[in-house]
Structure 1
């Protein structure tokens, strides 16, 4: 089990190149293609449990979708990748923080 405390992580498919080696080879122009990564989710993490409970509740759809995108971007950041759409990431994060702060 890779995930104990973490919510998510990106992993390589069996037989694919390690992400760090892939990145190094790309930096040296030794690799042209990228391998797809798998988003591994910790189903026992309290955040995932809360998200699963929120699915289907009135008004939760957009928040759940934003949280899912944030988790994918979080996994990318942890792996040292850039977030593909920093503006959308920032907007989602700001929205989440605004709803979590006391009025």
Structure 2
């Protein structure tokens, strides 16, 4: 609701039963996660809020435009995640330390 209030185009995932609810809360685009993979449908976003982590966070990164920001409310990624991204090894060490 805050993002919508600030003028953002809001996309979210939900199941069919929740689509009307999330639209009433301000979602412009609703991807039914039981039928579609959001990472195949969405692209070019400035910001992603991830509430699941793991593989979902990895997929979330693919919908960002260059310079976009992903925020995970699950916790910091670990060294394995940094390695999958091809991040410098020092970043993996930092992530590993933060995830403890």
TM > 0.5: no
TM-score range, shorter chain: under 0.3
TM-score where L is the length of structure 2: 0.27
Pick the structure with more helix per residue.
Answer: 1
Quick check: which has more Rg, 1 or 2?
1
**1 or 2 for the larger relative contact order (CA 8 Å, sep ≥6)?**
1
